[in-house]
Amino acid sequence: MGTANAASNMTVTYKDDVSTLDPAIGYDWQNWSMIKSLFDSLLDYKPGTTELTPDLAESYTISDDGLIYTFNLRKGVKFHNGRTMTAADVKYSLDRVTNPKTQSPGAGFFASVKGFDDASSGSGSLSGVSVVDDYTVQIELSRPDATFLHVVAINFASVVPREAVEKWGEDFGKHPVGTGAFYLDEWTLGQRLVFKKNQNYYHAGIPKLDQITFEVGQEPIVALLRLQNGEVDIAGDGIPPAKFLEVKNDPKYAGAIVEGSQLHTGYIALNVKMKPFDNLKVRQAVNMAINKDRIVRIINGRAVSANQPLPPLMPGYDPDYKGLSYNPDAAKKLLAEAGFGDGFETELYVANTDPQPRIAQAIQQDLAAIGIKAGIKSLAQGNVIAAGGEVDQAPMIWSGGMAWIADFPDPSNFYGPILGCGGAVPGGWNWSWYCNESIEKRAIAADSMTDPADAEKRMAAWRSIFTDIQDEAPWVPIFNEQRFTMRSDRLDGPDGIFVDPVHIPVHYDQVFIKEGQ
Amino acid sequence: MTTYICRRVFEALLILIGITFVTYVLLYLVPADPVRQIAGRSATAETVENIRRQLGLHLPFYEQYWNYLSALVQGNFGRSYIQKTEVVELIRSRLPASLLLMVGAIAAELILGLTMGVISAVRRNSATDQVLMVVSFIGVSAPQFVVGILLLYVFAVLLGWFPIGGYGTFSHLVLPALTLGFLGAGWYSRMMRSSMLNVLEQDFIRTARAKGLSKARVILRHAVPNALLPIIAMIGIDIGIFMSGIVVVESVFGWPGIGQLAWQAIQRVDIPIIMGVTLVAACSIVLGNLVADIVALFVDPRIKLR
């Protein structure tokens, strides 16, 4: 590995303006990783992995009942404005993100913290967070939550300085002040953002670049041309689908494209509250009717086919699970057993942006082969989400373009909102409306195993939860999307940081410029 | 004259209020719920309701519209739902780029269109005339995103004469201005051609030729200025056409103007920005038409005030 050059700069392009850099608000894949470079949380992930590692907290202890987390903060960490970060800042930041006035889309992640209900209704504050001394924070939970360490690593838990937030008010997202590896030096609306190296950063040798320039407003196709021309280092929106095969098969760019997995599953949700999908055999028949490999080919092989809800990158994935494989004849037999020997008519909801309607057509053809006539309802994304949130609207939904990418690398995040009873409510994201009380109990039990020594046992519990769910077939898991990052010749660093599972598209803190470039 | 302008300004205000109403109704009827978009997928029903209240979106339609109008009168366009920035600031920071692009496009369409028109008229029915009229036909009918991407590919990527999109210098301006002006150039070449043909048949041209003036001098000094008069009045109307063009052209070339802002806002259902840009666009169209009418009044005394 080389070292960074004297004044190294990387240029990254995006189509859309950056919405906000306020860590309590930002929740799109574009600002997610930018915020990670400007701010820090108590914990972080080892670059290129899903493994937690201490960050602003040097160490932590968990009480035996799993309810009290004590974090010992790193000393001498400075905000970009020069002030030293202390435990009071951690408390302030968590109070702020759960305060309804902040309108944080991530407030719900802190639901297990004591006092959350008072805080979110505006009648009190997050009483579970207390400052023990300047460098010790204690967080008390109202129920054991094994995912809590992921929660304090998420962007919404970033530590922000009160004086800067109060100074800028609603414009804090345009004038972010954090403790991160970079600070925001310039933001010209609609044109560019410039991140400069934080010279006082507490991780030695990080960041490796002196500057990152984000140019916004560039169509992906234009960004690709500029990348091929050597004017840009990373096209943030990725390789446009229409050019994907051409670029991928061009030997000139063989070393430039890095492939990695992500915490994503594309699936068909079968509404178990609507006929005839209330019948297990019908759901199994649909599972066996879909030719997943063909769908993967439709998107130029940018995915791997799936047989269970969890993606392979997620801890708890079961590599030995067979699931229901493609077998139209067996599917027809199952349909006949269920009393639908002549098939039936239904509807498939799908987002109307390419390639989703093409995928829906493939599904439609596969279903037709076993006698199911599915009409395609191709709607704006928001309308499909709204239909899925109603119990009697959408019998089938193809999730492409909408769901589900995990917020953090823990199997629990693939259950609660999308397969658990909590998500099977009006406006929820559990579009199959699957709610199994016994599974729900097992999920709560698994998330109560907070002792790190029980981690293996907990993963085993989640593994069987997901395979048991899949045996009931509320979903047809179709594929897990792969990520492809194309980088310029100048950039260097381990492959993992270019397809980092948490920092998308690349881990900005870790990238460096090749020597002599 | 003053009464005429006052009346026109009053009418313009009524039109603008009408436009705010129609746009507001349309955006109100869009089935996508902006609150859910803001709240994100992990929000509880309580959070969603709380945000709805803070934005005043739980109120009945007429109250929402009234609140919007009252804020608007005080120059408050609201705050973007997604970008969390004052809409006024977003538009102010992007307006200069759009104006520059429009000025560039007006220059491009006049230079191209008028030159083509004059040459066609002078060489009427020749091969040159026919080639130019085919070019003008393409200009009028080709979609701007196609023209833009072609120009970008040929002149920026293959030949490397211009930068591949972006903003900042004169060379950044050339291709987007040409793309945006190409449509107008098509119109102007046709109008200029017929206007020139009309003028060339007039008696004073024959007189000028009879005086022994050179052909070039007759065309440039006598014919062109007279043929231009009806065309100048059209430029104001162009602003309206540009307003729809900049959405496409700015997106293709990564030009940081209000067209690009509108395009992004539409994709993200960012209602305050969509309203704001629509109003700015409406204002400039109304203003452009007003200017066009007034200019027409000056250049053509046959138009009567009523």
Among A11-15, B141-145, B148-152, B289-293, which stretch is predicted with the lowest mean pLDDT? Answer: B289-293
Interface of A with B in 91-110 (CB under 8 A): 100-101, 103, 105-109
A347-400 confidence digits (pLDDT tens): 999 998 888 999 999 999 999 999 999 999 998 887 898 899 899 999 999 999
Q: Which residue has the tokens 């029980």?
A: A454
Measured in angstroms, the CA of A509 and the nearest CA of chain B are apart by 25
Which of A251-260, A262-271, A425-434, B222-231 has the highest mean predicted lDDT (pLDDT)? A262-271
Measured in angstroms, the CA of B82 and the nearest CA of chain A are apart by 6
Which of A188-202, B157-171, B227-241 has the highest mean predicted lDDT (pLDDT)? A188-202
Q: Tell me the chain A residues in contact with residue B257 when contact means C-beta distances shorter than 8 Å.
A: 190
Q: Tell me the chain A residues in contact with residue B50 when contact means C-beta distances shorter than 8 Å.
A: 100, 103, 120, 122
pLDDT of residue A206: 92
DSSP reduced 3-state for B189: helix
Nearest by CB to B93, from A189, A380, A382: name it: A189
A170–B93 C-beta distance less than 8 A = no
**Residue A220 in contact with residue A240, Cβ under 8 Å?**
yes
Q: Tell me the chain B residues in contact with residue A150 when contact means C-beta distances shorter than 8 Å.
A: none
Q: Which residue has the tokens 């162009």?
A: B238
Closest CA to A44 of A503, A459, A511, A504: A503
Residue of B nearest to A224 (CA): B164
A496 touches chain B (CB under 8 A): no
pLDDT of residue B294: 77
Measured in angstroms, the CA of B13 and the nearest CA of chain A are apart by 30
- In one-letter notation, the amino acid at residue B5 is I
Q: What is the spatial order of strands in the sheet that A192-197 belongs to? A: A182-188, A192-197, A211-216, A9-14, A234-235
Q: Which residues contact A494 (CB under 8 A, 6 or more apart)?
A: A1, A47, A48, A510
Residue A156, pLDDT > 60, answer yes
The predicted model gives A247-252 an average pLDDT of 92
- In one-letter notation, the amino acid at residue A260 is G
pLDDT band at B305 (very low <50, low <70, confident <90, very high): low
A58 touches chain B (CB under 8 A): no
- In one-letter notation, the amino acid at residue A485 is T
Closest CA to A398 of A431, A446, A437: A431
pLDDT of residue A470: 96
B54–A101 C-beta distance less than 8 A = yes
The overall average pLDDT reported for chain A is 92
Measured in angstroms, the CA of A24 and the nearest CA of chain B are apart by 12
Residue A277, pLDDT > 90, answer yes
pLDDT of residue A467: 96
The token pair at B91 is 């538009």
Q: Tell me the chain A residues in contact with residue B83 when contact means C-beta distances shorter than 8 Å.
A: 17, 19-20
The token pair at A312 is 């392979």
The predicted model gives A107-133 an average pLDDT of 91
Strands A257-261 and A266-270: unpaired
Residue bearing the bigger pLDDT, B82 or A194: A194
Nearest by CB to B90, from A189, A417, A427: name it: A189
B39–A385 C-beta distance less than 8 A = no
A171 touches chain B (CB under 8 A): yes
The predicted model gives A479-494 an average pLDDT of 92
DSSP reduced 3-state for A469: helix
Closest CA to A376 of A402, A349, A343, A345: A349
pLDDT of residue A5: 45
Q: Tell me the chain B residues in contact with residue A382 when contact means C-beta distances shorter than 8 Å.
A: 31-33, 36-37, 269
Measured in angstroms, the CA of A35 and the nearest CA of chain B are apart by 15
The token pair at A367 is 């279903």
Q: Which DSSP string corresponds to chain B?
A: -HHHHHHHHHHHHHHHHHHHHHHHHHHHH-SS-HHHHHH-TT--HHHHHHHHHHTTTTS-HHHHHHHHHHHHHTT---B-TTT-SBHHHHHHHHHHHHHHHHHHHHHHHHHHHHHHHHHHHHTTTSHHHHHHHHHHHHHHHS-HHHHHHHHIIIIIIIS-SS-SS--SSHHHHHHHHHHHHHHHHHHHHHHHHHHHHHHHTSHHHHHHHHTT--HHHIIIIIIHHHHHHHHHTTHHHHHHHHHHHHHHHHHHHT--SHHHHHHHHHHTT-HHHHHHHHHHHHHHHHHHHHHHHHHHHHH-TTSPP-
Closest CA to B154 of B169, B167, B164: B164
Q: Rounded to an integer, what is the distance from CA A297 to the centroid of its chain?
A: 24
Measured in angstroms, the CA of A383 and the nearest CA of chain B are apart by 6
The predicted model gives A20-49 an average pLDDT of 93
B162 touches chain A (CB under 8 A): no
Q: Which residues contact B146 (CB under 8 A, 6 or more apart)?
A: none
Residue of B nearest to A422 (CA): B44
Residue of B nearest to A380 (CA): B32
Strands A57-62 and A68-73: antiparallel
pLDDT band at B48 (very low <50, low <70, confident <90, very high): confident
Strands A192-197 and A136-140: unpaired
Residue A305: strand pairing partners:
A479
- In one-letter notation, the amino acid at residue B165 is G
Element (H or E) spanning B71, and its range? Answer: helix B61-73
**Residue B172 in contact with residue B97, Cβ under 8 Å?**
no
Q: Tell me the chain B residues in contact with residue A156 when contact means C-beta distances shorter than 8 Å.
A: none
Rounded Cα distance between A135 and A153, Å, is: 18
Instruction: Say whether the ipTM exceeds 0.90.
Output: no
Q: Tell me the chain A residues in contact with residue B31 when contact means C-beta distances shorter than 8 Å.
A: 380, 382-383, 386
Query: Whole-angstrom distance between the N-terminal and C-terminal Cα of chain A?
Result: 15
Residue of A nearest to B257 (CA): A190
**Residue A166 in contact with residue A172, Cβ under 8 Å?**
no
pLDDT of residue B52: 87
Nearest by CB to A190, from B44, B261, B268: name it: B261
- Percent pLDDT > 70 in chain B is 97
pLDDT of residue B299: 67
pLDDT of residue B238: 81
Angle, alpha carbons B94-B97-B99 (nearest 5°)? 110
The token pair at A318 is 């079961």
Angle, alpha carbons A356-A360-A361 (nearest 5°)? 120
pLDDT of residue A468: 96
Residue A113, pLDDT > 80, answer yes
Q: Tell me the chain A residues in contact with residue B38 when contact means C-beta distances shorter than 8 Å.
A: 103, 105
Residue B96, pLDDT > 80, answer yes
A120–B89 C-beta distance less than 8 A = no
- In one-letter notation, the amino acid at residue A15 is K
Q: Tell me the chain A residues in contact with residue B32 when contact means C-beta distances shorter than 8 Å.
A: 380-383, 386
Rounded Cα distance between A506 and A498, Å, is: 4
Residue of A nearest to B97 (CA): A190
Rounded Cα distance between A195 and A191, Å, is: 14
Residue A169, pLDDT > 50, answer yes
pLDDT of residue A6: 52
Q: Which residues contact A437 (CB under 8 A, 6 or more apart)?
A: A421
A120–B83 C-beta distance less than 8 A = no
Residue bearing the bigger pLDDT, B163 or A138: A138
Rounded Cα distance between B269 and B34, Å, is: 6
The predicted model gives B125-149 an average pLDDT of 90
Residue B175, pLDDT > 70, answer yes
B40–A105 C-beta distance less than 8 A = yes
Interface of B with A in 194-233 (CB under 8 A): none
**Residue A311 in contact with residue A263, Cβ under 8 Å?**
yes
pLDDT band at A3 (very low <50, low <70, confident <90, very high): very low
Rounded Cα distance between A269 and A135, Å, is: 47
Rounded Cα distance between A388 and A391, Å, is: 7
Residue bearing the bigger pLDDT, B181 or A6: B181
Phi, psi of B163 (to 5 degrees): -70, 155
The predicted model gives A304-315 an average pLDDT of 95
Superfamily of domain A40-162: Dipeptide-binding Protein; Domain 1 (3.90.76.10)
The token pair at A132 is 């023990």
- Percent pLDDT > 70 in chain A is 99
A423-470 confidence digits (pLDDT tens): 898 888 999 999 999 999 999 999 999 888 899 999 999 999 999 999
B72-92 confidence digits (pLDDT tens): 988 899 999 888 889 999 999
B16-45 confidence digits (pLDDT tens): 899 999 999 988 887 777 887 777 777 777
Give the CATH number of domain A9-22+180-261+483-513.
Answer: 3.40.190.10
The predicted model gives A469-498 an average pLDDT of 94
Rounded Cα distance between A400 and A382, Å, is: 13
Interface of A with B in 347-366 (CB under 8 A): none
B252–A219 C-beta distance less than 8 A = yes
Closest CA to A16 of A175, A172, A190, A188: A190
Helix axes A455-472, A437-447, angle to 10 degrees: 160
B32–A380 C-beta distance less than 8 A = yes
pLDDT of residue B301: 59
Q: Which residues contact A63 (CB under 8 A, 6 or more apart)?
A: A69, A70
The residue length of chain B stands at 306
**Residue B157 in contact with residue A229, Cβ under 8 Å?**
yes
Q: Which residues contact A90 (CB under 8 A, 6 or more apart)?
A: A42, A56, A71, A73, A129, A131, A137, A159
CA distances from A80 to A85, A88, A135, A160, A194 (A): 10, 17, 19, 10, 15
B282 touches chain A (CB under 8 A): no
Among A65-74, A183-192, B263-272, which stretch is predicted with the lowest mean pLDDT? Answer: B263-272
Q: Which residue has the tokens 């992004």?
A: B264
Closest CA to A408 of A37, A152, A103: A152
pLDDT band at A2 (very low <50, low <70, confident <90, very high): very low
A388 touches chain B (CB under 8 A): no
Domain residue spans in chain A? 9-22+180-261+483-513, 40-162, 264-481
A219, A224, A243, A425: best mutation site toward chain B, by most B Cβ within 10 Å?
A219
Give the CATH number of domain A264-481.
Answer: 3.10.105.10
The token pair at A118 is 């008072």
The residue length of chain A stands at 517
Query: Count of A–B CB contacts within 8 Å?
Result: 128
In this structure, the number of other CB atoms found within 10 A of the CB of residue A59 comes to 10
pLDDT band at A478 (very low <50, low <70, confident <90, very high): very high
DSSP state, B158? I
- In one-letter notation, the amino acid at residue B285 is I
Residue A30, pLDDT > 80, answer yes
Interface of A with B in 20-49 (CB under 8 A): 20, 22, 25, 27
**Residue A431 in contact with residue A397, Cβ under 8 Å?**
yes
- In one-letter notation, the amino acid at residue A164 is A
Residue B306, pLDDT > 80, answer no
Interface of B with A in 86-145 (CB under 8 A): 89-90, 93-94, 97
Measured in angstroms, the CA of B183 and the nearest CA of chain A are apart by 22
pLDDT of residue B302: 62
Q: Which residue has the tokens 């250049």?
A: B299
pLDDT of residue A351: 92
pLDDT band at A219 (very low <50, low <70, confident <90, very high): confident
**Residue A161 in contact with residue A85, Cβ under 8 Å?**
yes
